[in-house]
Chains A and B, each alone.
Chain A
């Protein structure tokens, strides 16, 4: 690219076409890798569930049934637990390809059906939290960086340290106590006010479904219910994004092109927003992608505290009851969400940095 080539710009249109193809090829490669990764994750999850020192039959059947070999055998036969493990895995994979994740031993419904109900609730919560974290974390990180070693930086350092080191369960309890119990500012749990019916299921995101249906009272209730749990989830990610934003912005500030932007006499606000924040976003969205994953695992705790009917609660109950098909289903979904998130981050790199599109 850096070879002496005065006609480089002249071939701009061709470049764009080539870059479009390059991006497609890049995406195809990433997608293929993602599918392999997904298969690998099911294997690992499957092996791990086999290694768990517990028997689904003893976990699911009552005291009396455990003493009854016939009942145990019937249970094992029903869920295919009597067959060899490799065969169980292959059967599982085959079913997975048809969208069949097996039957939950707890809810006695298809795992896929359970997930379709719970996953959107968690994604909605996590998206709300990550958007909140990005807005607050990036803004505060930039403030800290441009005020390096002055009092705003010192104060924000304590804030971010607090954010990443306060245990989520504690934050959740304090927030619950203050904002719900003590001052009654926000609802304490669930996705909607009691007695309110869920909006017609389109996306599973109540805020989106309610808005699409024009049910603004439901929409408002859904938003209000999102605030407290997503706030609690965001405490950690805000702290994390703040630290990375600060470090990233400081690194970019030392670049020649920032000095060049200042030498043009541009207002400092423009220098930061246009010349500094854009390259800094490359590091920030990488961290945000990872942070989104941490939000999913954080959801297990937060959903239980705020009775949020999501994947976290489902995962918790499945794990406690050794509901193997449900545990597998959760693993596959979480893995898929991670992979989609990573793809999204990769795509965003291309949007932010034209050099990635062009090479």
Chain B
């Protein structure tokens, strides 16, 4: 499995009324082909802006620096035209809420075939045939009929399956899934996650799953990156990060998860809230909320460092003492 996407020192400035503010700060990570890479963090941690930066779909007047090398080319240095040729073709997106991300007035057929016809130059009937296959792949019953229907005629879970089919239409190598299960009923979430897992195995597809829900991560991700304040807090293989968290923020997120077997008393929220855009503190961004903070945390900007093979943490004091 080679490296598919290598993000180096990605910084994103968003335009605000008080001038540009960093939403993503010096972020580096890599995604291997065929893996599921999870990016976790609270809202405002820069997860979505990272994905938008990769697609060149940042809001008006946003700026970026750094590199994001995908299949040997830097996405951040591409012209709008070059990016359009990559978007939908090599990198596709599935967003949070399929009831708003599918066009309410266009038929499923139009939404499934328009980019195939554009990118792959398929004829109407070829694209239609492939659309039927795609709907079958994501397990939509009676795909032929579904083509003529509109999104409003499907349930939330079915809509997200269709949105995934739309994303897969041009056989991309990388799928950016931004909170793909958040808007869905718990009962259908697992089905969507299994679908993503199956697709990456069958189609050699790398998936970046962006979520605030570590439960979702634990189900599918191969590797997990925990973000805080626009930076990496911790990154490593799923098992290592979830069972031996080395960053107090990761630990806090895990403690905030409900564990049915241990009862409600075990729930421990992280005090305070994530810093708003442009108000990320000096030093370690997490220090005001961290129970282990030492004076250096206020001044020294921590850099992610290896704590064990393939597992990096941006908490040099290592208050959790590692696995040893």
List residues of chain A with CB under 8 Å of any chain B CB.
Answer: 1-10, 12-13, 15, 148, 255-257, 259-267, 270, 274-275, 278-279, 352-355, 358-359
Contact A257 B101 (CB under 8 A): yes
Chain B window 134-170, contacts with chain A (Cβ cutoff 8 Å), 1 for yes, 0 for no: 0000001110011011101111111000010010000
Q: Determine if B23 is an interface residue (Cβ-Cβ < 8 Å).
A: no
Bound form: Cα–Cα A83–B156 in Å: 67
Pairs A–B under 8 Å by Cβ, sample size 23: A1-B152, A1-B153, A8-B153, A8-B158, A9-B145, A12-B148, A259-B57, A260-B103, A260-B166, A263-B55, A263-B87, A263-B92, A265-B83, A265-B115, A265-B119, A266-B88, A266-B115, A267-B118, A278-B106, A352-B105, A353-B104, A355-B104, A358-B152
CB-defined contacts of A354 to chain B, threshold 8 Å = 105, 107, 150, 152
Tell me the dominant secondary structure on chain A's binding face. helix
Give every chain B residue within 8 A of A6 (Cβ-Cβ). 141, 155, 158
Q: Per-position contact with A for B95-106: 1 when CB-CB < 8 Å, else 0?
A: 101011111111
**How far is A358 from B86 in the complex, measured between Cα atoms in Å?**
36
* Residue in B closest to A5 when the chains form the complex, CB atoms: B155
Q: Which residues of B contact A278 (CB under 8 A)?
A: 105-106
Give complex CA distance A231, B222 in Å. 65
Nearest CB of chain A from residue B117's CB, rounded to whole Å: 10
Contacts of B85 in A (CB 8 A): 265
Quick check: is B239 within 8 A (CB to CB) of the other chain? no
- The answer to whether A256 and B84 have CB atoms under 8 Å apart is no
A262 to B97 alpha-carbon distance, docked (Å): 16
Near A by CB (< 8 A), chain B positions 161-201 give 163, 166, 185, 188
Chain B residue at minimal CB-CB distance from A257: B103
Interface centre among B110, B149, B156, by most chain A C-beta atoms within 10 angstroms, is: B149
Return B120 CB to nearest CB of chain A, in Å. Answer: 11
Q: Is B166 touching A264 in the complex (CB atoms < 8 A)?
A: yes
Name the A residues within 8 Å of B107 (CB-CB): 354
Number of interface residues of B (CB under 8 A): 47
Q: In the bound complex, how far is the Cα of B88 from the Cα of A112, in angstroms?
A: 61
Q: Which of A260, A261, A265, A352 contacts B89 (CB 8 A)?
A: A265
Of B114, B119, B145, which contacts A270 at CB under 8 A? B114
Q: Is the CB of A355 within 8 A of B105?
A: yes
B109 to chain A, nearest CB (A): 11
Task: Evaluate contact between B88 and A265: CB separation under 8 angstroms.
Answer: yes
Is the C-beta of B127 less than 8 angstroms from some C-beta in chain A? no
Q: Which 4 A-B pairs have the closest CB atoms?
A: A265-B88, A265-B87, A264-B88, A256-B100
Q: How far is the CA of A13 from the CA of B144 in the complex (A)?
A: 12
Q: How far is the CB of A77 from the nearest CB of chain B, in Å?
A: 61
CB distance from A44 to the nearest CB of B (A): 38
Interface string of B63-98 (1 = CB under 8 A from A): 000000000000000000001111111001101010
In the bound assembly, the distance between CA atoms of A9 and B107 in angstroms comes to: 12
**A257 with B114, Cβ < 8 A, contacts A262-B87, A264-B88, A266-B88 known:** no
Binding site for A on B (CB under 8 A): 55, 57, 60, 83-89, 92-93, 95, 97, 99-107, 110, 114-115, 118-119, 140-142, 145-146, 148-150, 152-158, 163, 166, 185, 188
Residue of A2, A264, A353 most packed against chain B (CB within 10 A) = A264
Please state if B57 and A7 are interface contacts (CB–CB under 8 Å).
no
B141 and A260 contacting across the interface, CB-CB below 8 Å? no
From B93, B95, B115, B146, give the contact of A9 (CB < 8 A): B146
CA–CA, A287 and B67, complex, Å: 47
Contacts of B105 in A (CB 8 A): 278-279, 352-355
A31 to chain B, nearest CB (A): 26
**What's the Cα separation between A148 and B114 when bound, in Å?**
27
Pairwise interchain contact B97-A256, C-beta atoms closer than 8 A: yes
**Apart from A255-B100, A265-B88, what 5 extra A-B contacts exist at CB < 8 Å?**
A1-B152, A263-B88, A263-B92, A264-B114, A275-B103
A24 smallest CB distance to B (angstroms): 20
Residues of the A chain whose Cβ atoms lie less than 8 Å from the Cβ of B88: 263-266
List the A side residues contacting B146 at CB < 8 Å.
Answer: 9, 12
| Pair A2/B114 contact, Cβ less than 8 Å | no
Chain A residues positioned under 8 Å from B103 (CB to CB): 257, 260-261, 275
CA distance A354 to B89 in the complex (A): 29
Task: Flag if B102 contacts A260 (CB, 8 Å).
Answer: yes
Q: A259-B95, A263-B92 are in contact. Are A274 and B141 (CB under 8 A)?
A: no
Chain B: CB-nearest residue to A355: B152
A87 to chain B, nearest CB (A): 53
Would you call B84 and A265 a contact (CB within 8 A)? Answer: yes
Closest to A359 in B: B152
Q: Is the CB of A257 within 8 A of B118?
A: no
Greatest chain A CB density within 10 A among B89, B103, B115, B155 is at B103
Q: A10-B141, A256-B101 are in contact. Are A264 and B156 (CB under 8 A)?
A: no
State in angstroms the CA–CA spacing of A348 and B57 once bound together: 33
Minimum C-beta distance from B83 to chain A (A): 8
CA distance A359 to B153 in the complex (A): 10
A256 vs B48: C-alpha distance in the bound complex, in angstroms? 13
Check B118–A265 contact: CB distance below 8 A.
yes
Which chain A residue lies CB-closest to B143? A9
Q: Closest B-chain residue to A281, C-beta based?
A: B105
Q: How far is the CB of A144 from chain B (nearest CB, A)?
A: 15
Q: Once bound together, how far apart are the Cα atoms of A265 and B157, in whole Å?
A: 25
A3 to chain B: closest residue by CB:
B155
Nearest opposing residue in chain A for B85, CB measure: A265
Find chain B residues with CB under 8 A from A148 CB: 60
Question: Are B89 and A7 in touch, CB under 8 angstroms?
Answer: no
Q: Chain A residues near B185 (CB, 8 Å)? A: 4
Bound form: Cα–Cα A32–B87 in Å? 51
Collect the chain A residues with CB atoms within 8 Å of residue B152's CB.
1-2, 354-355, 358-359
Query: Do residues B145 and A2 form an inter-chain contact, with CB atoms below 8 A?
Result: no
Bound complex: CA A15 to CA B153 (Å)? 10
Let me know if A4 and B102 touch, CB within 8 A. no
Q: Which A residue's beta carbon lies closest to that of B188?
A: A4
A4–B115 Cα distance when bound, in Å, is: 28
In the complex where A6-B141, A264-B166, A353-B105 touch, is A12 in contact with B149 (Cβ < 8 A)? yes
